[in-house]
Amino acid sequence: MKLSFSLSFFYFLLLAYICSGSASAKSFSALPLRFRKNGHFKILQVADMHYANGKTTPCEDVLPNQMATCSDLNTTAFINRLIQAENPDLIVFTGDNIFGSDATDAGKSLNFAFAPAVESKVPWAAVLGNHDQESDLSREGLMKHIVSMKYTVAQVNPSEADVIDGFGNYNVEIGGVQGSRVENKSLLNLYFLDSGDYSTVPSIRGYGWIKPSQQFWFQQTSIKLKNAYIKNPEAQKGSAPGLAYFHIPLPEYASFDSTNSTGVNGEHAISSASINSGFFSTLLKAGDVKAVFTGHDHLNDFCGNLTGIHLCYAGGFGYHAYGKAGWDRRARVVLATLKKTKNNGWGAVKSIRTWKRLDNQYLTAIDPQVLWTN
């Protein structure tokens, strides 16, 4: 009986370890993300879920006939529909994942908010917005909770950075098709940054911004990835294209109107930081980032090209977030496609395209655009 009890207890502990979020996260992060056998890699961006307490949390800015039955669960249902329809390779949550001031338990709210990604076993990444930390977890605590969850590729911060502002600065490399000559080379580089919450400088009001330490980390990471790409004999000249994800838009988003962008500027304003930290110039100098994706301004979903870099909003996603009654909640999809090479092989990224999906009866896809071609 003692032996039986000991073995049973051992297997219980083993099962608990295997099923724990931290164990799954560690084992999963060791697996490389890569392009599919058809040469595609698809990213689903979810911005501003504003998740709170589930079915008891009311919706904002919906039609009167929707109000009685609408809650956070509508946000969950929308994500589940999108995962089934788009079958993404990666889901990216770009901040205000929970609405901290209404979330009574931040950890539980995060668990519910990210549950569709976890349950689908689709790899996912997340950054923080300006409302996530308003409950009972700090920004550091939020990212530590996120990285402990299953199937996430998120990091609290890069291990190679001695000092860096914020929490949730990291990069993810997307390898070539398995079995191809570029399977172990990153053909698409994703950068995630913490754009902060609010200014901590008394003389400067408004939202946060990407700090010099983060820009330095980005520059060094970009250089490292370029050098690795050049050493790849199968890759073409130049560098692998990059995409950047964070919450608060850059001041340069104000460069667009209906004449030079695709989509809607429903807020007629850009809620960026009140100062320009120069990150757009840093991106230009690096040269590898082809598009930037943010959230924050829920009624803006446009995307425009500024000197070779597309600046894109995803549009508001969550039902416990401000919106506009009758204006469907939405999400952005990005698809990167590889070039075919001789002998039916695969080469560098050929194109990066995007579109949006609406939460209506048909999950209507709108505003298809080509962001970059090689």
Tell whether the model's pLDDT for residue 31 goes beyond 80. Answer: no
Q: What number is the average pLDDT over the span 326-338?
A: 98
Q: What number is the average pLDDT over the span 282-303?
A: 98
User: What is the pTM assigned to this prediction?
Assistant: 0.91
Q: What is the pLDDT of residues 75-84, one digit of tens each?
A: 999 999 999 9
Most confident of 16-25, 138-147, 182-191: 138-147
Identify the band that residue 160 occupies on the pLDDT scale cut at 50, 70 and 90.
Answer: confident
d(C-alpha 58, C-alpha 82), whole Å: 22
Residue-wise burial string across 331-356, b where 16 or more C-beta atoms lie within 10 A, e elsewhere: bbbbbbbbeeeeeebbbbbeebbbbb
Tell whether the model's pLDDT for residue 183 goes beyond 60. Answer: yes
3-state helix, strand, coil in the chain (%, to 5): 30, 25, 45
Q: Which of 242, 282, 209 is nearest to 374 (CA)?
A: 242
Q: Which of 228, 349, 243, 346 is nearest to 289 (CA)?
A: 243
Residue 258 has, within 13 A of its CA and on its CB side, a CA count of 5
**What's the confidence (pLDDT) of residue 316?**
97
Q: What is the pLDDT of residues 33-63, one digit of tens each?
A: 999 999 999 999 999 999 999 999 999 999 9
d(C-alpha 303, C-alpha 260), whole Å: 9
Identify the band that residue 65 occupies on the pLDDT scale cut at 50, 70 and 90.
Answer: very high
**Segments making up each domain of the chain, as ranges:** 20-373
Q: Which of 207, 84, 93 is nearest to 152 (CA)?
A: 93
Identify the band that residue 161 occupies on the pLDDT scale cut at 50, 70 and 90.
Answer: confident
Tell whether the model's pLDDT for residue 28 goes beyond 90. Answer: no
Report residue 273 as tokens.
Answer: 């930081």
d(C-alpha 196, C-alpha 167), whole Å: 9
**What's the confidence (pLDDT) of residue 343?**
79
**What's the confidence (pLDDT) of residue 13?**
36
**What's the confidence (pLDDT) of residue 344?**
76
Q: What is the pLDDT of residues 81-101, one digit of tens each?
A: 999 999 999 999 999 999 989
Higher-pLDDT residue of 11 and 199 is 199
Question: In the predicted model, what is the mean pLDDT of the chain?
Answer: 90
d(C-alpha 231, C-alpha 279), whole Å: 28
d(C-alpha 11, C-alpha 322), whole Å: 48
Count CB neighbours of 104 within 10 A.
11
**What's the confidence (pLDDT) of residue 147?**
97
Report residue 341 as tokens.
Answer: 């090479």
d(C-alpha 358, C-alpha 180), whole Å: 36
Q: What is the pLDDT of residues 218-272, one digit of tens each?
A: 999 999 999 988 876 555 567 899 999 999 999 999 999 999 999 999 999 899 9
Residue 323 CA to its chain's centroid (Å): 20
Tell whether the model's pLDDT for residue 15 goes beyond 80. Answer: no
**What's the confidence (pLDDT) of residue 232?**
61
Which one-letter amino acid corresponds to residue 45? Q
Q: What is the pLDDT of residues 259-280, one digit of tens each?
A: 999 999 999 989 999 999 999 9
Q: What number is the average pLDDT over the span 181-209?
A: 94
Tell whether the model's pLDDT for residue 202 goes beyond 80. Answer: yes
Tell whether the model's pLDDT for residue 370 goes beyond 90. Answer: yes
Which one-letter amino acid corresponds to residue 183? E
End-to-end CA distance of the chain: 68
CB 60 within 8 A of CB 102: no
Residue 321 has, within 13 A of its CA and on its CB side, a CA count of 32
What topology does CATH give the domain 20-373? Purple Acid Phosphatase; chain A, domain 2 (3.60.21)
